[in-house]
Structure 1
């Protein structure tokens, strides 16, 4: 496989934010490359987030790429186990473990489920 594109998600990935994440991550899987999605900074993740991962996996497979997931959150891992997707994603606990043998491209950050370039930052919308 070729280089890796790292996408770090932050904040809540739910029914409101999942479409934004999906839209921004749709075309990131390059042929013969690795798309790595880092879920460690995610504070909430439901079935909508799982659907985003399934879509990313499909896009990666269709583009002859590979999806890697980094996750150390027990609740997200339990959701993957319950839905029988943990064996599909085979999440690793660390970025280093997922990148072993890969050359990483710049990280795309999705703060509050909004993908933004590294040099910019934004805050998750508050739910008050």
Structure 2
């Protein structure tokens, strides 16, 4: 069984319930429609966090390089209008994290080491 509650679910809320979440509930609970404008700050905060993880020896140089590469691609996708914002992923943080993991695999998942969603929101 996976320890990643999103691994087999379409979105974060459905990871908590047996029934799929209706589109109405998704629209009500999602903030991505207005917080996506924070994408550049979210990427910058994520890169700073990844740099700290690498400096402390918590992620490898390869993970750090992969995260940098993935975030650079995401930055280009968002800036060019090619990034696909997904309502089901609820917010800017989860949208960027999901795309990073698509691009770089496990290194993208390791970005959250020692970092909570509340940390991201505060940043």
Please give the range of the TM-score, normalised by the shorter of the 2 chains. Answer: under 0.3
**Structure 1 or 2: larger helix share?**
2
Larger radius of gyration: 2
TM-score w.r.t. the length of structure 1 is: 0.26
